[in-house]
Chain A
Amino acid sequence: MKNYDMPIFAVLIALLILAPMAIYPVFLMKVLCFALFALAFNLLIGYVGLLSFGHAMFFGFSAYISAYTVKVWGWPTEIGIIAGTAVAALLGLVAGSLAIRRQGIYFAMVTLALAQMVFFFCLQAPFTGGEDGIQAVPRRPLLGFIDITSDLNFYYVVLAIFAAGFLIIYRAIHSPFGQVLKAIRENEARAISLGYHVDQYKLLAFVLSATLTGLAGSTKAIVFQLASLTDVAWQMSGEAVLMTLVGGMGTVFGPIVGAAIIITMQNYLAGFGEWVLVIQGVIFVITVLLFRRGVVGEIAALATRLTRRSEP
């Protein structure tokens, strides 16, 4: 079957370049940050079969690091984002080494427990500003000369970060490493019997996922000029699960679509107040019951059926 991923990606980026003409850039940036978060999460669940329920620790903690280094230490924006990403990678290495020893629900529980520990650390540690979080993070010129105080300018920077993150994940999935990951997902015992030390592969996938989640979190802190407990709370891990499942687990574009749907709902249904959560829940249940492959997964399945039918 022909692979249309890259043409679709090109069209997506073209649309996103034009999007600020019609849509508010801050909203778009929020969608892109969460889309990158969900893409990174999907690398683990969709391609290794590991359900992490603690990705908020990478998202939220990296947000704190980038917000703190930029605001308090006065680091340049790009260095702050890199610092947040690097710390997420380290945290991923530690959390991953502990979590990948278990599978299934136990893996999910270990990641959740570790994320809760990070949450309480952030709640207690003085540098995070407790309930207030770190507010009014300045947006200093990027690389010293790109003005990002205007949302429109910064939007294109975020778009570039998103595109880079997407391409890294896409390449990882379609690499020799990705091929082994798929083998592990399909039949772990067999992969071991072929001589693969599967724990090392899982750990690298976990660290990659944590790192890119960190990139999303640090960028988000600069977008909203804020890092808070919301980013590191367990509900944030749930958001990634929700977006990925709604969009289509194990599909290349599913997490992006899922993030767009969920963020749109949260923004445009905000008038319903707490009812947004109920509506989200209903959509989640409908997806799981009727469209188990998620939006993108169902469309892809439909496309496959149609092309098969047209072939003799």
Chain B
Amino acid sequence: MDQSTAIETQSLVKDFKGFRAVDNVNLKVRRGSIHALIGPNGAGKTTCFNLITKFLQPTSGRIFLNGQDITRLAPASVARLGLVRSFQISATFPHLTLLENVRIALQRQLGTSFHFWRSETTLDQLNDRAMEILQDVGLAGSESLVAAELPYGRKRVLEIATTMALGPEVMLLDEPMAGMGREDIGRISQLIRRVAKSRTVLMVEHNLSVVADLSDTITVLARGRVIAEGPYASVSQNPLVIEAYMGTTDASSPALRGAHG
């Protein structure tokens, strides 16, 4: 397999009781790129995500990470290989402090996570590294707050910080901008662009201006199938894509942008 591909799916299919949510999807995510998965509601984007991260088992087809077949692995094992995901609803540990949230990600590398006889102060050696990461995303100063006290946008930032703590090679972001204000969107876009410098990012996102702005490649899904792929400029002119979004081919692409921007 060619070295420039980080994630590849081959003829990926997922059936839910007779309903085909993902239909023969062949996806290739180039290493080091930001790749967006877009499509109308119910197109199968999140299902694709869940399949790739193994939170769902595919009905048929195969999934490769760096050329290694991960189709049969457990989700935690996939994470250990360096493919780490975020969730549509912000996924923090609400009653742990920000520092503890990031530390949970760092702690696995110590290899003491089953040591129930050891004091938790042995985890303090990770505090400096955790603080560095929080500083990096602009959350320093709030480290002793519990995550539940953060405003929504900052929870997403914390989530990305926690994911970064694992130093994953590939990050899958499920609608990172969902429910965010304009200011937060700007901040998170910058953050994604920055973390993507050294890794591959695959994201599902509804905000098309963000997609246009960030991604190198866009794959458009509709009814579980890939209907178009390429850079934003070509995808947004594609009549199939316009039809999927607008229900008609008459609409011009600015309207497409306006509807979701």
Contact = CB atoms under 8 A, between A and B. Distances in A.
Interface residues of A, number: 27
Max chain A Cβ within 10 angstroms of own Cβ: one of B86, B87, B100, B104 = B104
A281 B93 CA distance: 35
Interface in B92-107: 92-96, 100, 103-105, 107
Interface residues of B, number: 38
A194 B116 contact: no
Contacts of A194: 79, 84, 104-105, 108, 162, 166
Interface stretch (B2-10, B24-32, B117-125, B196-204): B117-125
A175 B104 contact: no
Nearest to B126: A176
Report which residue of B55, B75, B95 has the largest number of chain A beta carbons within 10 angstroms of its beta carbon.
B75
A204 B92 CA distance: 24
A187 interface: yes
Nearest to B104: A183
A182 B117 CA distance: 16
A190 B107 contact: no
Interface stretch (A8-16, A66-74, A195-203, A260-268): A195-203
A17 to B, nearest CB: 26
Contacts of B95: 182, 186
A179 B76 CA distance: 17
B199 to A, nearest CB: 16
A180 B79 contact: no
B219 interface: no
A174 interface: yes
Nearest to B101: A183
B76 A187 contact: no
Contacts of B94: 186-187
A178 B116 contact: yes
Contacts of A102: none
A255 to B, nearest CB: 18
A121 interface: no
Interface in A135-183: 171-172, 174-180, 182-183
B116 A196 contact: no
B93 A175 contact: no
B194 interface: no
Given A182-B96, A195-B108, A197-B76, A176 B113 contact: yes
Contacts of B251: none
B78 to A, nearest CB: 9
Contact of A172 (B77, B105, B116, B122): B116
B118 A175 contact: yes
Interface string B212-250: 000000000000000000000000000000000000000
A197 B74 contact: yes
Interface in B112-142: 112-120, 122-123
Contact of B84 (A174, A178, A189, A193): A193
Contacts of B86: 193
A175 B87 contact: no
B96 A183 contact: yes
Interface string A185-218: 0110111111111101100100010000000000
A204 B91 contact: no
Given A175-B119, A177-B113, A177-B116, A196 B108 contact: yes
Interface in A238-252: none
A231 B115 CA distance: 31
B96 A174 contact: no
A208 B75 CA distance: 25
B93, B95, B107, B166 — most chain A CB neighbours (10 Å):
B93
Contact of A176 (B84, B105, B107): B107
B115 A186 contact: no
A249 to B, nearest CB: 14
A180 B96 CA distance: 11
B120 A179 contact: yes
Given A171-B116, A175-B117, A179-B107, 16 more contacts: A175-B115, A175-B116, A175-B119, A176-B110, A176-B114, A176-B115, A179-B100, A179-B123, A186-B93, A186-B95, A189-B87, A190-B92, A194-B104, A194-B108, A200-B114, A201-B114
5 contacts: A182-B93, A183-B104, A186-B93, A192-B79, A194-B84
Interface of B: 53, 55, 74-77, 79-80, 84-87, 91-96, 100, 103-105, 107-108, 110, 112-120, 122-123, 162, 166
User: Which 8 interchain pairs have the tightest Cβ spacing?
Assistant: A195-B79, A177-B116, A190-B91, A186-B93, A172-B116, A195-B80, A197-B76, A176-B112
